[in-house]
Chains A and B, each alone.
Chain A
């Protein structure tokens, strides 16, 4: 096993497996893998100690294209493999690549449990709001009314709000970025790499084949300024052209509201200052829910980033304590236990 004392200097190329990605031309997944491969030389972990685990879906082909250890597992089940590997080998950096169907439909149960355990795994969910690999069925993040191959008259069920779900499940790092916002995604992923604990990054990913333009409502140049809220740690939550709009916490209604600087005496001081380090996830939850409200922008950036002892770490504290307490017991002594008798 390698030691991490002298890390080689890596370049992006060191993380390319040489297998050509098989995504459709224009697929948002390309820009995501590009950012990950750009990031990894700087995370301070040896290439052989990084593992990519994925479920099933277009997004989940990801590990094949990375020159790390990788596992392409079963639909929805990636969190279970990642959790087992991390508990078994806590020194590894474990990334989990998943899609909206993979993580939230078939894998919803595994996903929430990985989050609540604060397992030190980094989940990147490529949210294209559609089933890509199976060619265009409704997903748990498809909007109400969405017409897909299995909902020809429009989807009749309400979607998940993924960051809100992750927060509710107890994730200690929750963030969102967008496939075409390369620089932003790079920063978010760097913070995700540095975080220890259950890490969830939702990436808005365009599927040009089965759900093209899913995010133009907040990526189109014409609307972007008003439709995107970039959350920055320690900075007021401002958006809009010339950052003239802000998010204010209204103590009377206990709600977040949109205010305009200079109108009705509103100044920057009235605007909520973003703080992803609050232990209490309530404000983060309110922010995550903004995107569902008409007239509100969609937040991107880090909702929550708090440190708590991780599941793998707590397990190993117990294991090490037990080993220290009992010392090296011979197999025979162990097997004998405390209640024995001798047959002559």
Chain B
């Protein structure tokens, strides 16, 4: 550390910092910069951005507050953190909407310069909260006029006052770099790279960043610095990924691992849009993207491409999944491979587009007309979206079926370090097209199945195998239209059995903690991190608890029934009103899971969940 300060350096296990300000204040930017620096310092971490649904809510208003939370630590970090230890609030509205989350006794860094009469009014404060003595009693308040200090640092820069005001986020970042001992040079380089096309802004931001850093060092407002030791991560090359970014990388990886084209037909919708956006850059990797006129056409184009032999994808969120329902039924009856990625958000209807929820589980499992079962798999963290996408595609082509992959806004927008797999670490994906007749008399029977009940995939351009598929029920061999009732029953059962057969590829459920005992916590999808965290705490307190995480929702792992029955009680925490609990009750009569549900648009808090578990344990 390059400081001459005599102030103490305190080692902390982990820390959660939240930057909050106006949408235009650049909070996402400084949040990601601190994230990168922490990652490079070897910390494990998780982040979560929180931004308003409106793109440009009025400046200074409560609706316009945008935030970014990063949790980094010297041990495994499961979630972006329950409650921030440090809250950096750039204006009154940001303070008002976030203060309640700050942990008691936490550090509150405020930009006092923004606490003007008009801003206070916009935030509906009757008096300046910074003058409130109670605030200083509850938190360690560090009040800094970042507006003025930024202006001072930039006197004579020739920038307009608007441009100067935009630099103040780097002042805040500079202070945090000092506080957590992050290397200044690296950030300077990063600013220069970011503003390469506008050298005058690069210079200004570097100046302000350094001023913020120096301010931390020289002013007496901070009592000391903090050191978060490096975490024990698996050795390798790392990068930062968001869940949506990782899903897009997964699509490209599938193209490379299979040697086939990946076709993504989609339509923008929060919080899934970034997958389509990112994938649009991966043309050289064998990814073809197509932004259709709506979600129905998005999945339709994908099924068309799948008929043509591509590994086809569609990405969406709740309302879009509803629109795709009829199409997915067609993919089920035609038995064409397809991966549907649904990034869940608060519903129903437009609901809470930028907030997370897990309320599409039952819709994913059952939301189609007719008997239309399909495999459902859920990612559990941002980086896991990569591996889940690959697994979903592998399953789709291996079993000739649509596969529904669930993620959610929390992991889609959240980020974490991602170890880049070595070349050869990922298994190739085998895709075989039918090229020869498969039946008597040199004919091709598109619904003649193998032992796993999988039908062949013959694609246009293959001479002699010309055939028709469609939404009408088909003869169990020739695929020709059939209105025979018994044939229909046979086909319904066969399609269901084929999906059930996928259980062979579903790993057994693994219990962490106690293998049998008093309480089993069951997580699925994005709640894994919170449940991991809670389980750790409960085990540390000597409780007889276990945790099982479900990656596959259909088929469920073979041993799940036995696992559930090994515990006196089962608790299912979910960000919905109890959908997995409902499903498990139906699947495993006799097991009556207790529920812990939060539907507030946020990830589950480890502290709340642990408290609930302790209450149950009595």
Contacts and interface: CB of A to CB of B under 8 A. Distances in A.
B293 interface: yes
Interface in B465-494: 465-472, 480-481
A82 B252 CA distance: 23
A84 interface: yes
Nearest to B329: A74
B326 interface: yes
Chain B binding surface SS class: mixed
Given A2-B463, A48-B460, A89-B460, A83 B297 contact: yes
A239 B261 CA distance: 52
Given A1-B462, A332-B421, A343 B238 contact: yes
Contacts of A64: 468, 470, 480-481
Given A74-B471, A109-B293, A1 B304 contact: no
B288 interface: yes
Contacts of B123: none
Contact of A334 (B39, B236, B285, B464): B285
Contact of A84 (B234, B240, B301): B301
Contact of B238 (A325, A332, A342): A342
Interface stretch (A184-192, A217-225, A316-324): A316-324
Contacts of A258: none
Contacts of A335: 239, 249, 253, 420-421
Nearest to B307: A71
A88 B239 contact: no
Interface string A38-57: 00000000111101010010
A53 to B, nearest CB: 7
A79 B297 contact: yes
A110 interface: yes
A110 B468 contact: no
Given A74-B300, A109-B293, A335-B253, A340 B420 contact: yes
B285 A81 contact: no
Contacts of B290: 83-84, 87, 315
A129 interface: no
B265 to A, nearest CB: 5
A69 interface: yes
B393 interface: no
A46 B463 CA distance: 8
A157 to B, nearest CB: 23
A63 to B, nearest CB: 5
A245 to B, nearest CB: 42
A337 interface: yes
Contacts of B462: 1-2, 48
Nearest to B252: A334
B420 A48 contact: no
B571 interface: no
B235 interface: yes
Contacts of B285: 329, 334
Interface string B237-268: 11110000000010011001100010101000
B40 A341 contact: yes
B15 interface: no
A146 interface: no
A71 to B, nearest CB: 6
B304 A69 contact: no
The residue in B234, B265, B326 that gathers the most chain A C-beta atoms within 10 A of its C-beta is B265
The residue in B239, B310, B461 that gathers the most chain A C-beta atoms within 10 A of its C-beta is B461
Given A74-B327, A89-B461, A109-B294, A80 B233 contact: no
B541 interface: no
Interface in B391-440: 419-423, 426
Contact of B293 (A89, A113, A334): A113
B469 A72 contact: yes
Interface string A271-294: 000000000000000000000000
13 contacts: A69-B460, A71-B468, A71-B469, A73-B471, A77-B297, A83-B304, A84-B308, A87-B263, A110-B297, A315-B290, A329-B284, A341-B237, A343-B234
